[in-house]
């Protein structure tokens, strides 16, 4: 891969992950859930900053991202006996807990004996070499500087993910895939405005090529093709497929059109041509195109819907047609395809991004526990039972799902490299 391809891959993957995770992040914030970290990339952090109680980090590996929300499955923020450095506000409450005691900084040294940062929000321990134990009250919005340098907010129980109503948690889980669908719609609509004119997949002839079979048979621009032989046509794709797949032994095809409100049948003899080494048939007609604003917006909707349909068909065939790793592609395959697309121009990179975005959104809705779809199933079960599911059960199915996904990703990546 050259530099351009690498930049294109990072751009495509970065935008997809950012948009997906932003969906979870935005709805979680609106639902009152504390988002402790919004990370783009995986592995060691390259850049970090804090705003509105959330740590934003950019990490070194551009292969994913995550939104870390506060919840009961988190590890304890502190350890008994740990040395800290505390910063207080004017009311005497702790506003910052610095665990990087060995590095230069400001604050009062404190050795913690016990703590509760979920309910009572207190720290008990010894302050600045004092011999008597004291209790310090922690502000609801206090922050902790972790050992890796990331500053995150403490997590009182009322801002835990599990404290949100089940319907809010369901919205948080589905928000990521929804943002992927929105991104694809925006891109396809943008492409509609970027090109000279757009086709809306209508079975209407826009242009007749001179001296081609359609011209010789008397077809005209504006004719609406309703049937080819015995195949009814309601889209331009159906028209193209019916003509291209007509039998070799068949000299003529019967094209039924609507012209000025009247039905007319025309006999056309397709011409056999080779396109990229593949033999097909053509009659010399071009789809009707539009230049108005409404049509350009429709173009975005139509292409989004058509791509979703294609992905769904491929996904269903993955299971009904026999599972095979050859039908899947991981980061290596995506990087290779991105490299090829990058050579064809920025517009095609955007179209490829839209298709990947829809793939990501649909794949995340598969009911596997580690994915958003699996979490939605757990939300549904909780809603039906009208009580929280046992945390041990949720953790167990999530771990099983995560292990399955990790194994699948490793297998797909190895297969991508081998081929």
Instruction: Collect all residues with Cβ–Cβ distance below 8 Å to 159 and sequence separation of at least 6.
Output: 32, 33, 34, 70
pLDDT digits (tens, 9 = 90+) for 210-250: 999 999 999 999 999 999 988 899 999 999 988 888 877 67
Element (H, E) at 184: helix 166-194
The residue from 21, 37, 202, 394 that is catalytic is 21
pLDDT digits (tens, 9 = 90+) for 307-316: 998 888 777 7
Say yes or no to pLDDT of 75 above 80.
no
Q: Are 37 and 59 in contact (CB under 8 A)?
A: no
If you search the block for the tokens 């889209």, which residue do you land on? 235
Token duo for residue 33: 């859930």
Identify the pLDDT of residue 247. Answer: 77
43-47, 78-82, 191-195, 322-326: least confident range? 322-326
Residue 65's closest CA among 52, 80, 46, 83?
A: 46
Say if strands 134-145 and 94-98 run parallel, antiparallel, or are unpaired: parallel
Q: Which residues of 298-320 are buried (b: 16+ CB within 10 A; e: fewer)?
A: bbbebbbeebbeebeeeeeeeee
pLDDT digits (tens, 9 = 90+) for 102-153: 777 788 899 999 999 889 999 999 987 788 899 999 999 898 888 877 788 8
Q: Let me know if 8 is exposed, middle or buried by CB neighbors in 10 A (0-12, 13-18, 19+).
A: buried
pLDDT cut 90: percent of the chain above it? 42
Confidence of residue 324 (pLDDT cuts 50, 70, 90): low
Phi and psi torsions of 231, nearest 5°: -95, 115
Q: Are 154 and 144 in contact (CB under 8 A)?
A: yes
Q: What is the mean pLDDT of residues 26-47?
A: 90
pLDDT digits (tens, 9 = 90+) for 266-298: 999 988 887 777 778 889 999 999 999 999 999
How much is the mean pLDDT over the chain? 86
* Residue 21 is among the residues annotated as catalytic for this protein: yes
Q: How far is CA 36 from the centre of its chain?
A: 21
Residues 72, 84: Cα–Cα separation, whole Å = 23
Q: List 290's β-bridge partners, or say none.
A: 198
Token duo for residue 133: 């134990």
Q: DSSP readout, 315-367? A: HHHHHHT---GGG---HHHHHHHHHHHHTT-HHHHHHHHHHHHHHHHHHHTS-
Say yes or no to pLDDT of 253 above 70.
yes
């Amino acid at each position: 891969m050259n530099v351009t391809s690498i930049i294109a891959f990072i751009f495509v993957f970065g935008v997809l992950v950012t948009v997906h995770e932003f969906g979870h992040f935005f709805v979680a914030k609106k639902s009152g859930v504390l988002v402790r970290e919004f990370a783009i990339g995986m592995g060691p952090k390259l850049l970090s900053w804090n705003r509105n109680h959330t740590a934003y980090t950019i990490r070194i590996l551009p292969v994913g991202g995550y939104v870390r929300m506060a919840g009961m499955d988190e590890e304890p923020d502190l350890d008994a006996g740990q040395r800290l450095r505390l910063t207080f506000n004017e009311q005497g409450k702790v506003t910052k807990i610095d665990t990087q005691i060995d590095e230069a900084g400001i604050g009062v040294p404190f050795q913690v004996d016990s703590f509760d940062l979920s309910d009572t929000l207190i720290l008990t321990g010894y302050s600045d070499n004092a011999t008597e134990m004291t209790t310090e009250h922690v502000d609801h919005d206090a922050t902790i500087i972790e050992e890796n340098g990331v500053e995150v907010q403490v997590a009182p129980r009322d801002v835990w993910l599990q404290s949100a109503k089940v319907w809010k948690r369901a919205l948080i889980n589905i928000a990521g895939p929804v943002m992927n669908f929105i991104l694809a719609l925006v891109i396809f609509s943008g492409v509609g405005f970027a090109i000279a004119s757009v086709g809306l997949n209508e079975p209407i002839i826009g242009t007749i090529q001179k001296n081609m079979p359609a011209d010789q048979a008397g077809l005209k621009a504006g004719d609406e093709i309703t049937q080819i032989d015995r195949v009814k046509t309601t889209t331009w794709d159906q028209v193209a497929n019916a003509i291209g797949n007509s039998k070799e032994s068949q000299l003529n095809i019967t094209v039924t059109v609507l012209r000025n409100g009247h039905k007319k049948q025309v006999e056309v003899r397709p011409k056999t041509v080779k396109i990229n080494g593949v033999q097909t048939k053509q009659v010399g007609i071009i789809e009707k195109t539009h230049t108005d604003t409404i049509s350009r917006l429709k173009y975005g909707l139509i292409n989004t819907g058509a791509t979703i349909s294609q992905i769904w068909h491929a996904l269903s065939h993955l299971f009904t047609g026999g599972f095979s790793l050859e039908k899947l592609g991981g980061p290596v395959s995506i990087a290779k395809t991105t490299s090829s697309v990058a050579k064809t121009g920025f517009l095609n990179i955007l179209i490829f991004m839209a298709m990947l975005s829809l793939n990501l959104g649909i794949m995340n809705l598969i009911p596997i526990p580690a994915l958003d779809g699996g979490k939605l199933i757990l939300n549904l079960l909780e809603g039906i039972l009208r009580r929280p599911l046992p945390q041990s059960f949720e953790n167990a199915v999530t771990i099983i799902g995560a292990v399955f996904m990790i194994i699948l990703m490793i297998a797909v990546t190895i297969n991508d490299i081998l081929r």
